[in-house]
A = this chain, B = another copy of it.
Amino acid sequence: MSPGDRELRNARAYLNRVAEMPAPALCDLVEVLGPVHAARQVARGEVPDAVAAEAGARRDDHRAEADLSAAAALGARLVVPEDDEWPDWSFACFDMPHARADERLRAPLALWVRGAARLDAVQQRFTAAVVGARAATSYGEHVAADFGYRLADHDMAVISGAAYGIDGAAHRGTLAAEGISFAVQACGLDRIYPAGHVGLLERIAARGAVVSEYPPGVRPAKHRFLIRNRLIAALSAGTVVVEAGRRSGARSTAAAASALGRLVMAVPGPVTSALSVGCHLLVRETDALLVTRAEEVIEAIGRIGADLAPPLPSPVRPTDGLSAELLAVYEALPARAPRHAEQLVRDSGVALQRVRAALPLLELRGLVSGGTDGWRRRVTRGASTGCGGP
């Protein structure tokens, strides 16, 4: 690393420590002055009031070297916008949905990353976010794991929040397919959250990466989860909500994705399940797309034209494609007894001449056979029995 690189990384580490995201005024300052100059001004307190409000309270926290060392000890690195692997965020700034004017968000100042994958892999792989409730049902966890597995199987990366429930199931499904998963944390990378996912986070880091906007030591807190959710949305091409209650963090991720112009998808479930209410509301009240299979996610956000979902297999009936008249003649034949054309006129309501024309057409289709005793139905699997209903 060149001395300039080091200075730049230290400056961003310092700014990342002193400001609590969101820090729009500080981000604007960094945009204008560059990180090194901006860090110097912040440390001196020579900044506009708006920046001071965001970064002034902790401006004496000169822990950049310590944070970088702590991260290195964890096997983590600070990825900054000047790095090759910095993703193309495709947004300079965006509004947090329902946010007040002073809560506009910018792309992160830097990201702490622990893991084998490059950060820009999220875009090279058409990453999907798969998120949902912590108190998920076994149905939801099954679907999340299945989506994770199948998305990975199609070479997509899966990003989520590593929480219990849907998030964890999505990560596990991805890992089961030996796919790449990214977990975005709402705390420093030295904090394992949730504690029960220590092994899962290790496995995510081994093939993908665990990512956080927060420097080492920062504990998870409610407002950080909401800020974190926007990162999950921003890092993915689309967000799939698998299960969500009426009020759910997953819906905040969906709202952020929508505000970013990313596709929002929702998996339906039983209307009797409180954990599907949020998904159904997304479909009813927003532009969210209803998805039932990973292939539909791939089709929606995948490479255009290359990833059309294969149609579901459709049962074929021998009477498919018959005109109403041919069907009426066919239906007029009893299941087993033979009939002459004249006998079919009344029950089919079709004129004799047309019945006579219809029967050979039905024979060509293998539906009836003519004999000396008249015409009879051929027994075919799946053929109508005459009163099976629609």
Please report A residues at the B interface, Cβ cutoff 8 Å: 18-20, 22, 52-58, 61, 99-100, 102-103, 134, 139, 142-143, 161, 163, 186, 193-194, 219-223, 225-226, 228-229, 246-250, 252, 267-272, 276-277, 280, 283-284, 289-293, 296, 312, 314-315, 317, 319, 323-324, 327-328, 331-332, 345-346, 348-352, 354-355, 384, 386-390
Contacts and interface: CB of A to CB of B under 8 A. Distances in A.
Contacts of A223: 324, 327-328, 331
Contacts of A163: 389
The 7 nearest A-B residue pairs measured at CB: A249-B390, A20-B349, A268-B268, A225-B390, A271-B292, A221-B331, A222-B384
A131 to B, nearest CB: 9
B225 A389 contact: yes
A319 B222 contact: yes
Interface of chain A, helix or strand or loop or mixed? loop
B312 A139 contact: no
Copies in the complex: 2
Given A161-B390, A194-B389, A221-B387, 18 more contacts: A20-B349, A20-B350, A53-B354, A57-B348, A57-B351, A57-B355, A100-B324, A186-B389, A221-B386, A222-B319, A222-B389, A226-B390, A249-B389, A249-B390, A268-B271, A269-B269, A284-B289, A284-B292
15 contacts: A53-B350, A53-B354, A142-B272, A143-B272, A219-B387, A220-B386, A220-B387, A221-B386, A223-B327, A248-B390, A249-B389, A249-B390, A268-B270, A283-B290, A284-B292
